Structure 1
């Protein structure tokens, strides 16, 4: 039996998966690393922590997996998007990486939008948001000019780890699309954007397909991990693109709902001319010559973890979610909006905050639990409705992440989305997608689609119930009124949030 390894470099931990030719996860290891939050709005990490913990995880995997290292044919990567890693002429890291959830760049986003106007959308297919890489580059250029002048190249998080394992610098198209520097349709760095903001285009690394082999492991890596020097290393992709590959989202109409800390609704797109006008993200996929549209709820699973930590800290998630069966659809007239960290789609509003609307003396905890789950799902529905408004037909949705671990929540998704919701047998998210890119790159399959047919298996289908769909559609129209009704209130309350 042959094997591949998928490395998923997340925001809080790296997870490595050993996957065989049947698509079975034979072993997995996870290693955590810290966030550095020196002041409000700053979110950074030391790239050395990524390397150290990835090597440690691979070493543990090899030690415990009980397979011959010569049978591990390939390694590929998935990584947190947008994070800025600046390197000098000796490829040494110049500063901590600035992460996707860093919000210091509001000024730079405004500058980008005002300077480029509609050209930004026509080139990058995305609006300027704090999470993207270009605003981070401009922030460093303005606030740390000496460091910026020493920079010779930049990479994203997983690309730095891959460089340290292979000695080869580069970036795949799916991650490059999240920098706000890529001409998404042309598949090339935008000279116009670089020149507009006086950024040397030489800072941008060479581009490659996600499934391209980029080299083999350096001797020090094979010594430390026990892996073979013949193991092929593939470029890998952005975490959302790899999550889509791992869920089999590889043809027109395929759609995925992923609920982790944030929530993502992602739909495969072959039509490069479909224009969402910046209302949702539009990125290059890890599959060649294809794209995906994506909407984001910033505090999806986070809303549930906040609710549990605040009101049910001693219960398991399973115990808490048993509340769903004790409250009817609509939570007896109670609505929750999951804006605990602002919102991305469709509002792109960092100031909005969450609400419970409609509380009365008859509501019990199960109603609040159900309202939280329904509110998260309503927020994700807003992205689906944006897709549908542009002519996309969405009838089946693969659900992954925390939202796929509870059957009652999966049924709520089916009813609110008005679509069949699919649960996978072996849902491993972006790490599995990275492993599939390695499997395809190693020649195990003649296409990613063939790999997906082997590696992804549906175990349950949840069909929408017509009466409940109608009830939720009425409630959704009420939900959509909460944001415009509370926007001003949230802004006024902001001054009180920071008072001691």
Structure 2
């Protein structure tokens, strides 16, 4: 037998999965690491924690599986995007990593927009947001110049772990796309952007494909992980790109809805000349010469968690949602906007906040629960519509994450998106995508599409109810008015938070 390993380096933990040639996840292991917030808005981690816990997770995976190390053909990575790791000329970390959810860089974002103007969207295809990597580099350049002077190269989180495992500096296109330093269409580092901020291009590592072999394990790493030094290591990809691969989003017309803490709508795309004016993200895919369009709802599953913890703390999620199937579409005239922590798509607005509109004395907990689910799904529908407006047909959506765990919510997605919804038999998300990159890189399959056909199996489909879809279409038009009519109120309320 032979196996591959997918390593998913998340924000709170690293997850490893052992997958066989049939795409079955036989064993998995997860190891947490701490998050540091030294000041309000700061979010940092120690890169060494990632390495140590990845090795622990790999070792536990091998011990519980009891397979021979020689049977592991290769491994690859998925990783949290945007995080900045600065290294000196000797490959030593210069400061804690600044993570994707760090918000200290608002001034740097404005500087990028003012300096680059229209070139930013022309080259990088994305707006300057606090989460991206370039603003973090500019923050260090301004506030920690002594650190910046020592910096020889920057890496993203999973690339640092891979460097420590192999000794090789590299970054794949899908993760590089989230730095604001990559020319998305030409798949090259942008000299225009780097020079605008006096950054040497030597700061950027070499670019590789996600399925490209970048080395084998260093002897001491092989010993610590209970693998062999011959284990092939493949570059891997950004967590969203790997999530798309793990859900089989590898052909034109394929779209995914992922509802975790945040919510993502992601569609496969081959047209590199598209211009969404920054309304959605446009990144390189893990598939060669392909892209993906992505809209983000910042508080998707988080909205449901907040609602339960605030108003129904003693109930489980199943108990909270048990009565929503008896509530009609529209929750008897109750609408919810999931702007608890601001919003990303289509309104990149840090000040906007959530609303319940139409609260009536006749509304029960179940009405509010259903309204929360509907509001989250309406927000995702906004991303669906932007993608459809680009000329793309969306007749089917793969639903993963928390939104795929409730039958009523799955049907609600079908009705609000007016599209067939597919639930997968086994859902491992980015970790599976990483394993698939390793399987393809090892030559098990002629293409990622062939790998997906073997590894990914649908479990159930949900077709839209035409009558309910009409009702939701009318309610969606009302939902879309709430942002414009509450924006000024929220800007004024921000001073009281």
CA distance in 2, matches of 1:309, 1:48: 34
> Mean alpha-carbon deviation: is it higher for 33-42 or for 175-184?
33-42
Q: What SS does the aligned partner of 1:178 have?
A: coil
How does 1:156-305 map onto structure 2 within 5 Å? 156-305=156-305
CA distance in 1, matches of 2:61, 2:32: 15
CA distance in 1, matches of 2:16, 2:50: 12
How does 1:444-483 map onto structure 2 within 5 Å? 444-483=444-483
Tell me, yes or no, if structure 1 residue 2 matches structure 2 residue 2.
Answer: yes
CA distance in 2, matches of 1:310, 1:55: 38
**Deviation at residue 74 of structure 1 after TM alignment:** 0.6
Please report the TM-score for the alignment, with normalisation by the length of structure 2: 0.99
**Residue in 2 aligned with 1:54?**
54
How does 1:83-482 map onto structure 2 within 5 Å? 83-482=83-482
Deviations 1:471-495 (A, max 9, x none): 0011101111111111111111112
Deviations 1:357-394 (A, max 9, x none): 11111100001100110000000000000011111111
CA distance in 2, matches of 1:320, 1:11: 28
Deviations 1:287-333 (A, max 9, x none): 00100111001111111111121122232222222132232111111
CA distance in 2, matches of 1:215, 1:319: 49
Calculate the aligned-residue CA RMSD, in Å: 0.9
CA distance in 1, matches of 2:358, 2:33: 41
**Deviation at residue 274 of structure 1 after TM alignment:** 2.1
CA distance in 1, matches of 2:67, 2:391: 49
Q: Which runs of 4+ in 1 moved over 4 A?
A: none
**Deviation at residue 68 of structure 1 after TM alignment:** 1.5
**Deviation at residue 17 of structure 1 after TM alignment:** 0.5
Q: What SS does the aligned partner of 1:391 have?
A: coil
> Mean alpha-carbon deviation: is it higher for 40-49 or for 153-162?
40-49
Extract unaligned runs of 5+ from structure 2.
none
Count of residue pairs the alignment pairs up: 497
CA distance in 2, matches of 1:312, 1:92: 48
Q: What SS does the aligned partner of 2:228 have?
A: coil
Q: What SS does the aligned partner of 1:470 have?
A: helix
Extract unaligned runs of 5+ from structure 1.
none
Q: What SS does the aligned partner of 2:392 have?
A: coil
CA distance in 1, matches of 2:322, 2:231: 46
Deviations 1:210-229 (A, max 9, x none): 00001111112111111111
Tell me, yes or no, if structure 1 residue 11 matches structure 2 residue 11.
Answer: yes
Deviations 1:141-190 (A, max 9, x none): 01111111111000000001111111111100000000000001111000
Deviations 1:117-137 (A, max 9, x none): 111111111111111100110
